[in-house]
Each structure stands twice: as structure tokens, then as C-alpha cells.
């Protein structure tokens, strides 16, 4: 299929051509036609599937087909959970909307609100926002949402994981009843389905990849290794295979800092990206990573959400996530839009229960290898502590039987240090 067959107008086809996209991705093929017909959409799509263009292209088309209203009230609202994702969605809107007469802007917290206010007061057709800053500026009557015709909730699962459910509900109440709604989510818990029922009207369901399965082109490897040997093993893997651009995940912010420091000491230029870093520091780290000035980007799950790094070759799980769905998100950072990728997990004794949870979710095993010189040795009592915890957790709420299992598991960690 080619883009023209999706019914897109010439200025959008020109913009797509400029990006050298030869054909639509699966989600674009499935989502664009019903969105253009004005339908609500419930889309299951991970980052890396081309979902942003999947909603941005038809959104731009629909808005461009009527004359801009006087004073340009906001006609489309895109809500995202993180600042990075907000910035990237806005960038996509600018890229694909280059040949159209539409104005857009992005607002998020952690930066000075004044320039955002000034842009909003000039009038914009499309607003991309994170919930906190949106509600903050709305309560100051900087803008109105009364003319919104088009509402996109992007990465809805992450939005709920980050505790934005109440904010999302508040924002829904600020929108006019008659509007088109799109909901994108990588996973579909009971909570997401409930949320979808609240605001989608007879939605068309579209899926890019089957629920909770990883992109087939990603090669998944796992090494069983002692906790204290993980850094050495990582450095060996990086050097032996001359890995150039590596995204590394840790479970905690402090873990990301520690690993970043160690890698830099050992000559692997690394930067960290997590919730304690300022917006400027995150943007700088990401830019340097994209340029190749930083070889390893060490990230926590929340901070990495929505990072747009095309053709990322390697993702490393320095620590396995305690939420199996996060593994799917993490490795979705590689093998993007059709390219091959490698996801490597370093698994110590204490994480074996996490690995089993992940395999259960994926419905396949991840081969666990031991590398010579990095044998994990016997598990100590200390090693097994978190594994026992995970086991108890599963006993209380067996996997796949109770979706609420995710919430307590997460809050246990996030109250300490997970964002």
C-alpha cells in the first residue's frame, strides 16, 4: 500500500515524502482511514510502530479542511504522559504539517510557563500537553478548551501508571461533548478499557501488533550473571561487539546515576535520563546520544517513555523491570519501524521471578545464557529476597487473573525511587 491510497491530501503526501517514508506502517494503514471518516479509535500500538504519524496525519487533514476560526481557539488537544513524548508529538505535527496553514504548540511542566502562555495567547489550532501544565494554565484562564473537536489520549497506559487518572478525568470534563476521540495504548488493562468506555463513542479498534507481544524482528537475549558482575559484563559486551548506540534501563534513578558514573569511568561515554534531571539536561543528553557524542544512555522506564530514537540498535535491561509490561515497552525502543534490533537482559538471581513473569506475558521463553568468566554462582539468601517478594506477590494476585496486580507492585517501588 502507498500513502496516497489512504486518502491523504497533497500537502500531507508531500511532507511524508520529504521524510522518505515509502509506505504506511501497519497502524497507519489501519488507523488513518477510519479517523478520516470521523470515527473514534481505540488503538493498541507501541512506540516505534509509527503511531504518531498514524494520528497526526489525519488530525492535520481534518483540521485543514475547514477554515481556521477567528482568533484560533484550540480545536485539537493531544494529551501525553511525559514531556519528552509531548515534545516529540509536537515535532511530528510540525513536520507533517509543514505545508498546511495550522498553528500548534506544546506545553509541559518543569520549564518557564511564560513563553508557553505567550504562544497560547496568540492562538493555536493544535495543543500538545502533559496533564499538570494543561490544568495549571487552564485554571489561570490562559486558554479555553470549549472549541476542541479532536482529542487524542496518547500512551494511555503510561498515563494511568503515572497516576494521571484523576487529571485525565478533569480534563475530559473541560471538553465539549461533541468531538472525535482517539485513545492509544501499548497495553490494555481493565483500567484502560474502563477509561475507553468513558469517553470513546462506538470506537473502531485497531491493533498494530497483537496485544503484549514484542516486535518479531527484535532478537532477545538474556545472560544469567551475579549482581556485582553486571557492569563488567555490560562493558565486555559493549566492547566485544563494538556497540555504538545503546539504551540501558535501570529500575531506579539512583541506579541509573551509579551505572552512568561507572561507565564513564571505564571509557564508555554515558549520560543519564530520569525524572530528577531537569528538562534541559534530558534534552541535552538525548541530543548528544542521537549525535553519537554519548554512546550509552542510561534511563529509567518513565523517563524513556516516548523517546524517539530512530533505528536504535541495542537496548539493554541492566535490571529487569518488576512490571512485565515495562519489558515490552523497553525493548520496543529497538527494531523501530521495520529495522532489526537486539535486546539484551542481564539477569541476576534476584530477578529470576521477574524473568518468569515476563516470559509468561510474552508466552515464550527468553533463552538464558551464562558467559564464561561471568558465571552467576550459587544464589545467596540475600539474592533470593526480592524473588521471594515477587513470589508472594504472585500468590496474592496470580498473574493474568487480576490486572490490579500491577498497581501495588509499582507503587511499592515508585514511592522509593522509580521515576
Return residues touching ligand AMP (CB under 6 A).
21, 24-25, 28, 47-53, 308, 310, 336-337
- Count CB atoms within 10 A of the CB of residue 115: 11
Residue identified by cell 523517563 is: 303
Query: For residue 110, what are the CA distances in angstroms to 133, 251, 272, 275, 277?
Result: 9, 22, 17, 10, 10
Cell digits for 406?
500491577
What's the CA gap between 78 and 92, in Å, rounded?
12
Rounded least distance, CB 10 to ligand AMP, Å: 17
Do residues 83 and 279 make contact, with C-beta atoms less than 8 angstroms apart? yes
What's the CA gap between 145 and 143, in Å, rounded?
7
What's the CA gap between 272 and 23, in Å, rounded?
35
Nearer to ligand AMP, 28 or 105 (CB): 28
Rounded least distance, CB 66 to ligand AMP, Å: 26
- Count CB atoms within 10 A of the CB of residue 363: 9
Nearer to ligand AMP, 23 or 375 (CB): 23
Of the candidates 209, 235, 222, 210, the residue with the CA atom closest to the CA atom of residue 354:
222
Rounded least distance, CB 25 to ligand AMP, Å: 5
- Count CB atoms within 10 A of the CB of residue 293: 12
DSSP string for 289-314: HHHTS-SEEEE-HHHHTT---TT--E
Nearer to ligand AMP, 51 or 253 (CB): 51
Rounded least distance, CB 188 to ligand AMP, Å: 17
Nearer to ligand AMP, 48 or 131 (CB): 48
Rounded least distance, CB 45 to ligand AMP, Å: 7
What's the CA gap between 42 and 51, in Å, rounded?
12
Rounded least distance, CB 27 to ligand AMP, Å: 8
Nearer to ligand AMP, 49 or 104 (CB): 49
Burial of 4 from C-beta contacts in 10 A (0-12 / 13-18 / 19+):
exposed
Nearer to ligand AMP, 47 or 82 (CB): 47
Of the candidates 301, 203, 285, the residue with the CA atom closest to the CA atom of residue 253:
301
Nearer to ligand AMP, 6 or 352 (CB): 6
Rounded least distance, CB 209 to ligand AMP, Å: 11
Residue identified by cell 542481564 is: 346
Rounded least distance, CB 284 to ligand AMP, Å: 20
Nearer to ligand AMP, 52 or 116 (CB): 52
Rounded least distance, CB 92 to ligand AMP, Å: 7
DSSP string for 172-231: HHHS-SS-EEEEEESS--HHHHHHHHHH-SSPEEEESS-TT---TTEEEEEEE--GGGHH
Nearer to ligand AMP, 26 or 263 (CB): 26
Amino acid at each position: 500500500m502507498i500513502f496516497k491510497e489512504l486518502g491523504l491530501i497533497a500537502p500531507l503526501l508531500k511532507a511524508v515524502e520529504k521524510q522518505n517514508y515509502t509506505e504506511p506502517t501497519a497502524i497507519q494503514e489501519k488507523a488513518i482511514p477510519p479517523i478520516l471518516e470521523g470515527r473514534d479509535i481505540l488503538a493498541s500500538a507501541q512506540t516505534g510502530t509509527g503511531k504518531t504519524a498514524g494520528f497526526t496525519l489525519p488530525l492535520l487533514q481534518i483540521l485543514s479542511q475547514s477554515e481556521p476560526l477567528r482568533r484560533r481557539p484550540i480545536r485539537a488537544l493531544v494529551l501525553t504522559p511525559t514531556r519528552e513524548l509531548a515534545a516529540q508529538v509536537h515535532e511530528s505535527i510540525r513536520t507533517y504539517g509543514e505545508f498546511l496553514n495550522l498553528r500548534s504548540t506544546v506545553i509541559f511542566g518543569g520549564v518557564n510557563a511564560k513563553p508557553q502562555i505567550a504562544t497560547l495567547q496568540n492562538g493555536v489550532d493544535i495543543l500538545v500537553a502533559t496533564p499538570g501544565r494543561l490544568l495549571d494554565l487552564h485554571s489561570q484562564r490562559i486558554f479555553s478548551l470549549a472549541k476542541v473537536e479532536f482529542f487524542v489520549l496518547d500512551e494511555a497506559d503510561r498515563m494511568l501508571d503515572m497516576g494521571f487518572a484523576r487529571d485525565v478525568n478533569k480534563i475530559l470534563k473541560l471538553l465539549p461533548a461533541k468531538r472525535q476521540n482517539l485513545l492509544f495504548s501499548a497495553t490494555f488493562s481493565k483500567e484502560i478499557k474502563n477509561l475507553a468506555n468513558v469517553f470513546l463513542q462506538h470506537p473502531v479498534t485497531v491493533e498494530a501488533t497483537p496485544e503484549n507481544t514484542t516486535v518479531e524482528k527484535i532478537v532477545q537475549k538474556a545472560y544469567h550473571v551475579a549482581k556485582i558482575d553486571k557492569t563488567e559484563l555490560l562493558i565486555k559486551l559493549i566492547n566485544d561487539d563494538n556497540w555504538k548506540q545503546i539504551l540501558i534501563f535501570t529500575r531506579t534513578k539512583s541506579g541509573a546515576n551509579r551505572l552512568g558514573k561507572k561507565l564513564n569511568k571505564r571509557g564508555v561515554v554515558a549520560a543519564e535520563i530520569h525524572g530528577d534531571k531537569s528538562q534541559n539536561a534530558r534534552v541535552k543528553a538525548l541530543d548528544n546520544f542521537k549525535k553519537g557524542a554519548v554512546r550509552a544512555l542510561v534511563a529509567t522506564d518513565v523517563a524513556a517513555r516516548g523517546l524517539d530514537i530512530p533505528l536504535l540498535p541495542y537496548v539493554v535491561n541492566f535490571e529487569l523491570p518488576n512490571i512485565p509490561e515495562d519489558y515490552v515497552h523497553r525493548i520496543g525502543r529497538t527494531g523501530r519501524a521495520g529495522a532489526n534490533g537486539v535486546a539484551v537482559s542481564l539477569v541476576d538471581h534476584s530477578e529470576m521471578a521477574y524473568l518468569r513473569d515476563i516470559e509468561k506475558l510474552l508466552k515464550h521463553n527468553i533463552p538464558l545464557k551464562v558467559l564464561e568468566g561471568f558465571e552467576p554462582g550459587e544464589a545467596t539468601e540475600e539474592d533470593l529476597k526480592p524473588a521471594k517478594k515477587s513470589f508472594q506477590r504472585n500468590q496474592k494476585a496470580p498473574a493474568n487473573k487480576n490486572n490490579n496486580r500491577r498497581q501495588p507492585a509499582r507503587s511499592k517501588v515508585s514511592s522509593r525511587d522509580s521515576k
